[in-house]
Structure 1
């Protein structure tokens, strides 16, 4: 029993030590999932030439990878909660590596939809959410900084992998490049093996209660077969307690804001280069805008995470998140006025910085809202909400360009969606502050005004009694004097 207590004590969040190994593993997971997903677009020209397909048919490969990763995020959370994040990440690494391996032998584009789009996407989904959730178990004081470093793997990985993948295609063709990527993605299994699962600090008391129940079962013997079957089915399916946060009004408001955010955030990455080319920017400068956007997003990941960990800003993390999303939306609304490279360069810097800022704060804000014990399940739902907007918003943006003949409507849709997302979440934050003030006011009125009011009333009653007694005494004396006068 003492050993068990010591083990649980070592499971408390460390804010360092092995936690930085966890951050490094999560960094590599984001490199192998999000960065590799972005690099899939580099294969488009090769796919078109080999399969004789147009851009629309080829683009479904990237859309399916991205959508499946987000759509199956709750499955990754479920496996991480039922078994462990180590099992989820290692299984996801195996599936995604096999998907890329099978894609290298593909003879039809439809087979790529299944192997790269679905199988690889499911593998990425099993890795992404549990790896992010386990970082929150190891950090409390420096949580935002840890997430900033971990989530920067997406930008750094894209910056490094993009030229490497292009070089691999030139040296070994697209099939050989997919084989190398398959071996690279297999490193997710190594990252998963290093993820040492721990329980959040808030669950220690529940763990103690569970140990007492299990000890009692050991003394009494194994439970009945009916109870064993009931436990098996309850452990295989969703439990209402595990997803209790879905009933919270705060989380519902945040979920609606994420739908609008996902609708607008992906459009600038897709249409910035075509817009720059349409206003006369050369190809080299247009590509440089995307490079600047990616590099600055890394700076936003780390610096904004470090800033929101400071004591003065830690209570206002939600406000910082709302500010970064709103700034992104305002930047998109001003894009149609920027029609030269010197004007588009500040946009790339500002948008990239605030994009990295809000990406780093998504797990932090979610943890602050639902608690660390629900973080893995909540992140699965949050990333699930990104799936459908990621799938439909790029075609909608392209349709607006075809109908209007300009990119103004597309960037206006992106900016309006993100501004509306920030407004919804700011309303949620305002309601939370009002809910916190009401119990505080009730507590103050309970302890302070009531005794003062009671003492004032008692003093007033005593004064009234004294005056009444004096008046009755004077009346009795007056009647006695009249009687004496009459008798005399």
Structure 2
């Protein structure tokens, strides 16, 4: 009996090893189960939870760096403008690396790219604990953490978009709630760590926390969609080349980091322009809430709690945004949801200088978080409406690259305004005006193109394509004599 059991175990062992090797090969090729369309659930909810945790650790920490603003100024003996370059460089690098991150996701898949980003972020914060000047922090936090954040951000949002179609708005909102959860929980924790271990000791502990990103990224199981198949080129058809279709966008060549066809979609260009204006102001406002509260005499823990309150209402806004977009989803509804909260968010920023007490700042942080929560989920959700789900990684990366340019100059400009004027009121007025301009630009451009349902009837524009009622997109084949035949997506909002 023992001999028979041992022999059976020996026979099963090679089979187990073969299955493990086959699974590793599939992961290396970024393959997975194939679906006719996005499953809209199932394992996708696990992916959403993992993305939520990743974004919570990544951007929750970045948005909480305002707690380190005063300690860094005291440690390195710098002014507000110089210290502001820390958050500016980390946001700028994370955005500027977007096209590279998108190309890597298409080539290798979301799981290995997100894990690599987690390792880089951990390394960046660990090295920051040894910084002797503010310029070292520019490199460790700004460059290393920025690159790692870009990798994890693009990988996490892209994999969520592949698992969902009709419920994509809700899924994106839930995943992006991670930023709010991190922003709520981390500022008081960081303030406690600074008081107990100092700035350097806090960076070491944060580095350990960021390694959790690698664990959560392991849940990013790749899938294949039939819409990922790429048609053979006209030359191959004429020559009879029996090349096979490529089944996943991640297995296509990533030599072209920026997809030039994206710039032939006017709605996507409007999206980029509006986001550039928004990115100039929004991260800066989050970063300067705590310093402004400290400047009017609010004690440190109460000032840090303002970010937590902002994060709580941000969660409510993002969840509400997802539910609104999922109820009878349509591109028109998503577009209006991108315009209205932006305008109210800008007005809230313009009113910030009037808040001279803790209670008023608390109320404005509530509205600030609510309106930003309603708007932020539409940033990613609108992209497939413009360019299609197959081009989501590169489109997201391209948008982040342009946003990085504005992010690099946003925080330093606001910091220099404080150095010149001695208060943050002018900075909040500037940022609020730019955010309002962002919303008005999007509204005006889409009204001119007839996308808002105001200038002409949208009856024929919302007719569903056969068997794809939820997509509401028109597909056409672009005919280029010397280029591959590709599928492009026209916006039908």
Contact 2:94 2:150 in 1 (8 A): yes
In the other structure, the counterpart of 1:126 is: 151
* Greater displacement, 127-136 / 47-56: 47-56
Q: Is 1:422 aligned to residue 439 of structure 2? A: yes
Contact 2:35 2:223 in 1 (8 A): no
Taking the aligned partners of 1:350 and 1:101, their CA distance within structure 2 comes to 35
Contact 2:88 2:412 in 1 (8 A): no
Offset, 1:122: 1.0
- The one of 54, 62, 76 aligned to 1:37: 62
In the other structure, the counterpart of 2:273 is: 256
In the other structure, the counterpart of 2:286 is: 269
In the other structure, the counterpart of 2:176 is: 151
Offset, 1:299: 1.0
In the other structure, the counterpart of 2:22 is: none
- The one of 340, 363, 366 aligned to 1:346: 363
1:338-371 Cα offsets, whole Å, 9 max, x none, are 5444544432222210111111111001221221
Offset, 1:438: 9.7
Offset, 1:125: 1.1
- The one of 136, 140, 146 aligned to 1:111: 136
Q: How does 1:322-361 map to 2 (within 5 A)?
A: 322-361=339-378
Matched positions, count: 418
In the other structure, the counterpart of 1:383 is: 400
Offset, 1:104: 3.0
Q: Scaled by the length of structure 2, what TM-score is found?
A: 0.74
Q: How does 1:187-206 map to 2 (within 5 A)?
A: 187-204=212-229, 206=231
Taking the aligned partners of 1:203 and 1:162, their CA distance within structure 2 comes to 41
Taking the aligned partners of 2:433 and 2:305, their CA distance within structure 1 comes to 26
* Greater displacement, 398-407 / 12-21: 398-407
1:270-325 Cα offsets, whole Å, 9 max, x none, are 44455556667676665544332221111111121112211176641101111111
- SS across alignment from 1:14: coil
Taking the aligned partners of 1:438 and 1:41, their CA distance within structure 2 comes to 45
Taking the aligned partners of 1:97 and 1:11, their CA distance within structure 2 comes to 38
Taking the aligned partners of 1:7 and 1:193, their CA distance within structure 2 comes to 14
Change (3 A) 1:276 1:61: closer
In the other structure, the counterpart of 2:409 is: 392
Offset, 1:38: 2.6
In the other structure, the counterpart of 1:238 is: 256
Q: Which structure 2 segments of 5+ residues have no match?
A: 1-30, 245-251, 464-493
Contact 1:79 1:87 in 2 (8 A): no
Taking the aligned partners of 2:316 and 2:139, their CA distance within structure 1 comes to 36
Taking the aligned partners of 1:342 and 1:183, their CA distance within structure 2 comes to 35
Contact 2:68 2:199 in 1 (8 A): yes
1:13-46 Cα offsets, whole Å, 9 max, x none, are 1111110111011112111211122334434455
Change (3 A) 1:349 1:377: same
Q: Is 1:183 aligned to residue 195 of structure 2? A: no
Q: How does 1:42-81 map to 2 (within 5 A)?
A: 42-81=67-106
Offset, 1:82: 1.8
Contact 1:264 1:418 in 2 (8 A): yes
Q: Which structure 1 segments of 5+ residues have no match?
A: 1-5, 219-233, 444-488
Q: Scaled by the length of structure 1, what TM-score is found?
A: 0.75
